[in-house]
Structure 1
């Protein structure tokens, strides 16, 4: 474990609820798939510097597109020239990095035991090809883990529209898409919306103890608020899908 990984691990309980839900799910899935996780190979699509696969007991390959547009830069999307060096020095479970668009995938079929795609599919125009290629690189018996905004409640329109989001899926829309390429699909809601979630999403800023206090307090409260919301379409921020091949 590197110092960076240790510091991220130590602060996970104080981080936003979505991060903790994803981490808990991935740890459970890795253990269920391969016991201790030794030898498990995961493709992290859109992973960049994301914390979701840090310290997972598996070998991780990160795949992402290059950062080419101003919108990508503003939203911190895609690989920059500095990221490979950062990842190599900060992460201990990274097996490789691939700069590629998953909709134009050149990876061999049945290459990975699992695929993780956190808050990515809403950015993809060719979502059918995206899901098809994810299914294709999975070995039989493997799983894919997706998260995306909850389109049953959060509409990507109006003054708060995210310019890089193509669509927000309803639960049924995501279920239908994934069932085209996977034999078993579970889609459910996650993370209670509201004031405390917004507090928790504020960046921790050195020298600003009030912001730090609000962020930590918001995340702790929101974690408790978000228990038992799996079937709540109203007032939840995310959809989580686990698809088995």
Structure 2
């Protein structure tokens, strides 16, 4: 089936399996993360070529701070390395970078490079490469509830005005409109769980799970999963 029949505007990926990829090769975990970073480039360019409007990648969760300090420190350097290395190519491909998450909690250099990447690509009109970095969906929703509650408290909003559309506008994905909600969510590595990722936004998202570890997940794998998605009948609760 063609993209015209079942468009895939927003693709989300839980990039899982970097550590296991390294372990299988008797390498330290950071080597898996490094190879995973390189794969982001390959998959992002492939998604852009396929006409996807938004690619959201789960890069670092609010729970990942519990990992060993050395690993966390390395993960914090990955955005710096990624944008230093690939920004010219992202600019050439007209890709716009967006980072969603709690940026104020990141190390200063990491925060600076991510803010610069967004500023440098702000006028690009192609695919949005959206990184969920220091992101957690439950915390995102609580933050949204607090913003709405504050508006009710100050009289700017009545209870009757609170609905799904209003709530969605208080989430971090609001700036991705009109493609806030993923059409397809892919998780690599064989794990079949959501891990606190986009819990509100994936209410009617299609899921695909692959046993491929993220560094091994390639352009052909992506195309196959998209083709499989395009054969599905999305009814959104209707007949």
Q: Which TM-score tier does this pair reach, normalised by the shorter chain? A: 0.3 to 0.5
The structure richer in strand per residue is 1
TM-score by length of 2: 0.35
Give the structure, 1 or 2, with the largest relative contact order (CA under 8 Å, sep 6 or more).
2
Compare the two structures and name the one with the higher helix fraction.
2
TM-score by length of 1: 0.34
